[in-house]
Amino acid sequence: MLTLHRAAFVLPDPADPTAPSIADGAVVVRGGLVEAVGPYAELAVAHPGARVRDWGAAVLAPGLRNPYGHWLLERAYHPDPREEVGVEPVADGLAGCTDETRCGASARRGLQRMLGYGVTAVAGPFERASVRTAVARSGVVGLPGSSSSSSSSGSSDASDLSDASGVPDASGVSGRPGGGGAGPLDPLAVLSFEEASYGRVAAGGRADLAVFAVAGDGSAEPVAGGCLATVLGGRLVYRRR
């Protein structure tokens, strides 16, 4: 299936201040990979049979990385809606818990809720087998994190934090809260878009994308909590209703 995602702004690499945004841009996705990035008018002509998802006045960019994965998935508890206690993470609700079934179910709910904020990568370390399984099955990229992530201080050495591709690990965000301590499901609540974005949108790369509402007319700045859609490996896994 060939899909053309259109948005008022496409930001192929928010972390690079020299990388321009593409007004009325588009991303062509074939299977799980990005096939092309550029102006919508050009890509629509080049791919006449593509299914079009038009996101309107929004910004389309790489997904976000959440640097608080260890705390959010291994210490916080994500309630089941049937428990009728809300959906916010319960701080340290899994501390001391030995029930791996409960931990795994909580992690799956937490990951699903992260998708609603445009998160496509999450930092560990993930010490529980049930959590590692939940991360692997979710399709979200699991980052190794820092061995200090489980400490109460949450400090980390950014110089040691990178994944196999050389991209800095999310738990090494310099000068910001993170490093495995307590944090929100939405990285944009505490990090800038440039700091929170993970990877690039480029031809040949994995199609991990997020679409955000923008701050105002003519702005390419996403609104915190404004995720409209999340795409993992080419699959639309979240869409705001």
Residue 153 has pLDDT above 80, yes or no: no
Residue 83 C-beta-side C-alpha neighbours within 13 Å: 12
Radius of gyration of the chain measured on its C-alpha atoms? 18
3-state SS track over the chain: CEEEEEEEEECCCCCCCCCCCEEEEEEEEECCEEEEEEEHHHHHHHCCCCEEEECCCEEEEECEEECCHHHHHHHCECCCHHHCCCCCCECCCCCCCCCHHHHHHHHHHHHHHHHCCCEEEEECCCCCHHHHHHHHHHCCEEECCCHHHHCCCCCCCHHHCECCCCCECHHHCCCCCCCCCCCCCCHHHCCCHHHHECCCCCCCCECCEEEEEECCCCCCCEEEEEEEEEEECCEEEEECC
Q: What percent of the chain has pLDDT over 90?
A: 73
Distances (CA, A) of 26 to 5, 92, 104, 131, 198: 5, 42, 37, 35, 19
- Which pLDDT belongs to residue 155? 33
- Which pLDDT belongs to residue 93? 93
Round to whole Å and give the CA distance between 143 and 165. Answer: 11
Looking at residue 95, its amino acid is: A
| All domains in the chain, ordered by first residue | 2-63+199-239 (2.30.40.10), 64-194 (no CATH)
Residue with tokens 């929170």, as numbered in its chain? 196
- Cis-peptide, bond into residue 125, ω within 30° of zero: yes
- Which pLDDT belongs to residue 221? 85
Please tell me the pTM assigned to this model: 0.85
Residue-wise pLDDT for 1-58, tens only, equals 899 999 999 999 999 988 889 999 999 999 999 999 999 999 999 999 999 999 999 9
Q: What is the mean pLDDT of residues 183-194?
A: 95
Cβ-based neighbour number of residue 56 at 10 Å: 11
Residue-wise pLDDT for 95-147, tens only, equals 999 999 999 999 999 999 999 999 999 999 999 999 999 999 999 999 987 64
Phi-psi region of 234 (alpha: psi -120 to 50; beta: other; left: phi over 0): left
Cβ-based neighbour number of residue 166 at 10 Å: 6
- Which pLDDT belongs to residue 164? 32
Residue 241 has pLDDT above 50, yes or no: yes
